[in-house]
Structure 1
Amino acid sequence: MNRLFTLPLATLLAGIVPANPALAADDAPGGCAAKRQALEQRIEVARSAGNSAQQAGLEKALAEVTAHCSDAGLQRDREAKVAKYRAEVSQREADLSEAKAKGDPEKIARRQAKLAEARAELRATEQDLQR
């Protein structure tokens, strides 16, 4: 009975995780060691579920992370992401100013919502940078 329950659960959990584990771990704080640890855990889940295809893919991803991941590279990627979101916030602020100049209340509301969303993304990305 337990085996019947754990196999579908493991399959379900494996389906929730993005297809490219290296990209999925990119947003996780902690650097390359955390990426390797997350991949090793997922390999164990795939192994225990008997999913050899997923296990092989995860092992390939682990080899790539081991060969090419550097904490300095991850830091550069996070800094680039922050710069991208700062530029987006600036653009959204300009869009809002333009909408205010035209005086269209619906457009102003839409632009305010977009700006709030961009600012939230920037805050989250800046927090990731601090980790």
Structure 2
Amino acid sequence: MLKILAPFLTRSASALAGLALLLAAAPALASSSCDSVTGCDWKFCEIENKLSIAQQHGNDHQIAGLKKALQEATRHCTDEGLREELIDDLQDAREDLAEHESDLAEAKANGDADDRRQYQQEVEEKKADIQRLENELSRLD
């Protein structure tokens, strides 16, 4: 897909798009080999797996970003800090979900099918995000 869009993207936009695709796909790919570790070790494992994927695809921009992320995580990660970050992210996601559900109710009341589909999709995505965050948080317990 990036090859199709490449002529229309700047180098940095192309790199960001590639990183976004990798990061979106990587949790599914990386999680299985990191199941036996928790906390910061799990975070390091996830980043290392994403780094390995980026290296396999020769994406230098992703490699540089993930190496920096790994250095920062190694330097600053604590299990308690990770827990607090997940709790904050979970609270934000729940607030976003409430907002999307309100928008969905309004779209239903107005009979706007396009808005209803859009907000329904946003509600489902946010619920999945909340489930992922809750799973990550439970791994720390």
TM-score, L = length of structure 1:
0.56
Provide closer, same or farther for how the CA distance between residues 99 and 78 of structure 1 changes in structure 2, counting only shifts above 3 A.
same
Provide closer, same or farther for how the CA distance between residues 59 and 112 of structure 1 changes in structure 2, counting only shifts above 3 A.
closer
The answer for the alignment partner of 2:125 in structure 1 is: 117
Contact 2:48 2:70 in 1 (8 A): no
- Mapped to 2, the partners of 1:110 and 1:34 lie a distance apart of 34
RMSD between aligned residues: 3.7
The answer for the alignment partner of 1:88 in structure 2 is: 96
Report how far residue 58 of structure 1 moved.
Answer: 4.1
- Mapped to 1, the partners of 2:105 and 2:89 lie a distance apart of 25
Alignment-mate amino acid for residue 104 of structure 2 = L
**Taking every aligned residue pair, what percent have the same amino acid on both sides?**
29
Report how far residue 36 of structure 1 moved.
Answer: 4.9
- Mapped to 1, the partners of 2:109 and 2:95 lie a distance apart of 21
Unaligned runs of 5+ in 2: 1-18, 24-29, 56-62
- Mapped to 2, the partners of 1:125 and 1:117 lie a distance apart of 12
- Mapped to 2, the partners of 1:113 and 1:91 lie a distance apart of 13
TM-score, L = length of structure 2:
0.52
- Mapped to 1, the partners of 2:98 and 2:41 lie a distance apart of 34
Contact 2:93 2:130 in 1 (8 A): yes
Match of 1:105 among 113, 126, 130: 113
Report how far residue 38 of structure 1 moved.
Answer: 6.5
The structure having more radius of gyration, on CA atoms, is: 1
Matches within 5 A, 1:50-89: 58=67, 61-62=70-71, 64-89=72-97
Contact 2:103 2:119 in 1 (8 A): yes
